[in-house]
């Protein structure tokens, strides 16, 4: 039964992709025809109108009031990660794009988000500040992956990997089956069980010094904090976090 519904979803996704490829490219937000096609599937007006996260904390991505600050108060004493890339606020058009990508499995909206992330990645990392050595999508439980037939964080990481040439590692972490984070209250999210995420490989098998964890939306940072602790225990020195949107 589950296998049949997963196969149906895959067929529908492929049919949708073929159908889209036969039509001229249009803006995913206003449906204006784009000539030539654009990798982000957005017209210049809609791209400009996105709710950008203009002055984020470099560690947790929360928008800062003062343009001279780089870190928020809590991150000065207890930083979330070494570097966060989170170009959009989780509201308006950005929340719409993310919803269409995550729940309706629309790849074009995912590409719009990935391209926005890439713009920020390109300005964040320079010759003095090298890119991470691998991308680690935040894992979902295999039962959820089977039911949904779609792993949004993994797809987002693959899109970013295609552009940056950084490899994606999907076999480092495992998520225990349980209620998805989005169905929990903020208080429940903050109390994420310690064993929700585990390492799949022995520490010695992990030979990276600098990685980026990839997810769609950064909310409380609890998931990221758990994953960062695991990766640091495994000997990874620098952990960055790349998300499309920041919920506040
Ligand atoms: Zn548009
Ligand atoms: Zn912060």
Tell me: the pLDDT tens digits for 192-224?
666 788 888 777 677 889 999 999 999 989 989
**Cα–Cα distance measured from residue 209 to residue 10, given in angstroms and rounded to the nearest whole number:** 36
Ligand nearest to the CA of 225: 2
Indicate if the pLDDT at residue 9 is higher than 70: no
242 Cα–ligand 1 center, Å: 25
Q: Is residue 240 part of a domain?
A: yes
Indicate if the pLDDT at residue 69 is higher than 90: no
The pLDDT score that the predictor gives to residue 7 is: 67
Q: Is residue 42 part of a domain?
A: no
Ligand nearest to the CA of 97: 1
**Cα–Cα distance measured from residue 221 to residue 231, given in angstroms and rounded to the nearest whole number:** 15
Ligand nearest to the CA of 81: 2
**Cα–Cα distance measured from residue 137 to residue 152, given in angstroms and rounded to the nearest whole number:** 9
Ligand nearest to the CA of 218: 2
Residue 93: give the domain boundaries. Answer: 56-246
Ligand nearest to the CA of 50: 1
Q: Are strands 173-175 and 197-199 parallel, antiparallel or unpaired?
A: antiparallel
Closest CA to 48 of 12, 94, 80: 94
Q: Is residue 36 part of a domain?
A: no
Ligand nearest to the CA of 71: 2
Q: Is residue 1 part of a domain?
A: no
What percent of the chain stands above pLDDT 90?
Answer: 60
The pLDDT score that the predictor gives to residue 12 is: 66
For the chain, report the end-to-end CA distance as a whole number of angstroms: 39
Omega of the bond prior to 36 within 30 degrees of 0, cis? Answer: yes
The total number of structural domains that make up the chain = 1
Q: Is residue 66 part of a domain?
A: yes
71 Cα–ligand 2 center, Å: 5
CB 30 within 8 A of CB 45: yes
The pLDDT score that the predictor gives to residue 186 is: 60
149 Cα–ligand 2 center, Å: 34
Question: Which of 31-35, 38-42, 123-127, 186-190 has the weakest average pLDDT?
Answer: 186-190
104 Cα–ligand 2 center, Å: 31
Q: Is residue 151 part of a domain?
A: yes
184 Cα–ligand 2 center, Å: 23
Closest CA to 123 of 207, 58, 48: 58
**DSSP-derived secondary structure letter, 132:** P
Q: Is residue 97 part of a domain?
A: yes
Ligand nearest to the CA of 84: 2
CB 9 within 8 A of CB 149: yes
63 Cα–ligand 2 center, Å: 8
Neighbours of ion ligand 1 (CB under 5 A): 27, 29-30, 43, 46
CATH code at position 81: 3.40.50
Model confidence, pTM: 0.85
The per-residue pLDDT for range 13-23, each reduced to its tens digit, is 677 666 666 77
Q: Is residue 37 part of a domain?
A: no
73 Cα–ligand 2 center, Å: 7
125 Cα–ligand 2 center, Å: 19
């Amino acid at each position: 039964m589950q296998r049949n519904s997963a196969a149906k979803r895959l067929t529908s996704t492929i049919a949708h992709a073929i159908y889209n490829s036969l039509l001229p490219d249009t803006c995913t937000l206003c449906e204006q025809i784009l000539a030539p096609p654009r990798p982000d599937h957005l017209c210049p007006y809609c791209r400009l109108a996105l709710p950008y996260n203009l002055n984020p904390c470099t560690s947790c991505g929360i928008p800062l009031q003062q343009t001279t600050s780089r870190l928020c108060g809590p991150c000065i004493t207890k930083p979330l990660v070494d570097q966060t890339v989170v170009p959009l606020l989780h509201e308006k058009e950005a929340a719409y794009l993310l919803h269409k990508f995550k729940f309706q499995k629309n790849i074009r909206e995912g590409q719009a988000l990935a391209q926005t992330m890439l713009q920020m990645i390109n300005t964040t990392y320079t010759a003095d500040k090298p890119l991470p050595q691998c991308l680690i999508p935040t894992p979902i439980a295999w039962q959820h992956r089977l039911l949904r037939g779609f792993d949004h964080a993994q797809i987002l990481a693959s899109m970013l990997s295609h552009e940056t040439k950084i490899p994606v590692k999907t076999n480092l972490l495992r998520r225990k089956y349980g209620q998805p984070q989005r169905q929990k209250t903020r208080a429940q999210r903050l109390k994420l069980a310690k064993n929700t995420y585990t390492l799949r490989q022995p520490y010695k098998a992990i030979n990276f010094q600098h990685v980026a964890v990839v997810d769609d939306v950064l909310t409380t940072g609890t998931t990221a904090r758990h994953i960062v602790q695991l990766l640091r225990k495994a000997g990874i020195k620098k952990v960055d976090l790349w998300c499309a949107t920041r919920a506040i």
